[in-house]
Amino acid sequence: MSIIGRRGIHFLHKLNAENVPVALIEKGQSRVIDASLTLIRERAKLKGELVRALGGAVASTSLLGVPLGHNSSFLQGPAFAPPRIREAIWCGSTNSTTEEGKELNDPRVLTDVGDVPVQEIRDCGVDDDRLMNVISESVKLVMEQDPLRPLVLGGDHSISYPVVRAVSEKLGGPVDILHLDAHPDIYHAFEDNKYSHASSFARIMEGGYARRLLQVGIRSINNEGRVQGKRFGVEQYEMRTFSRDRHFLENLKLGEGVKGVYISIDVDCLDPAFAPGVSHIEPGGLSFRDVLNILHNLQGDVVAADVVEFNPQRDTVDGMTAMVAAKLVRELAAKISK
**Nearer CB in complex with Mn ion: 176/181:** 181
Is 181 annotated as a binding-site member? yes
**55's torsion region: left (phi>0), alpha (psi -120 to 50) or beta?**
left
Minimum Å gap between C-beta 193 and Mn ion is 16
**Nearer CB in complex with Mn ion: 86/183:** 183
Minimum Å gap between C-beta 74 and Mn ion is 11
**Nearer CB in complex with Mn ion: 96/236:** 236
Is 157 annotated as a binding-site member? yes
Minimum Å gap between C-beta 5 and Mn ion is 16
- In angstroms, the Cα distances linking 54 to 57, 142, 144, 269, 306 are 8, 18, 18, 37, 26
Instruction: Report the DSSP beta bridge partners of residue 270.
Output: 286
Is 185 annotated as a binding-site member? yes
Is 10 annotated as a binding-site member? no
- In angstroms, the Cα distances linking 30 to 24, 65, 120, 201 are 10, 21, 12, 29
Task: Give the residue from 242, 224, 244 showing the smallest Cα distance to 232.
Answer: 224
Instruction: Report the DSSP beta bridge partners of residue 97.
Output: 103
Minimum Å gap between C-beta 221 and Mn ion is 11
What is the C-alpha separation between 119 and 80, in angstroms, rounded?
10
Is 247 annotated as a binding-site member? no
Residues that bind Mn ion (CB under 5 A): 181-183, 266, 268
Specify the DSSP class assigned to residue 141.
H
**Nearer CB in complex with Mn ion: 124/281:** 281
Minimum Å gap between C-beta 3 and Mn ion is 23
- 148, containing H or E segment: strand 148-154
Is 188 annotated as a binding-site member? no
What is the C-alpha separation between 45 and 114, in angstroms, rounded?
12
**Nearer CB in complex with Mn ion: 62/200:** 200
Annotated binding site: 157, 181, 183, 185, 266, 268
Annotated binding residues for Mn(2+): 157, 181, 183, 185, 266, 268
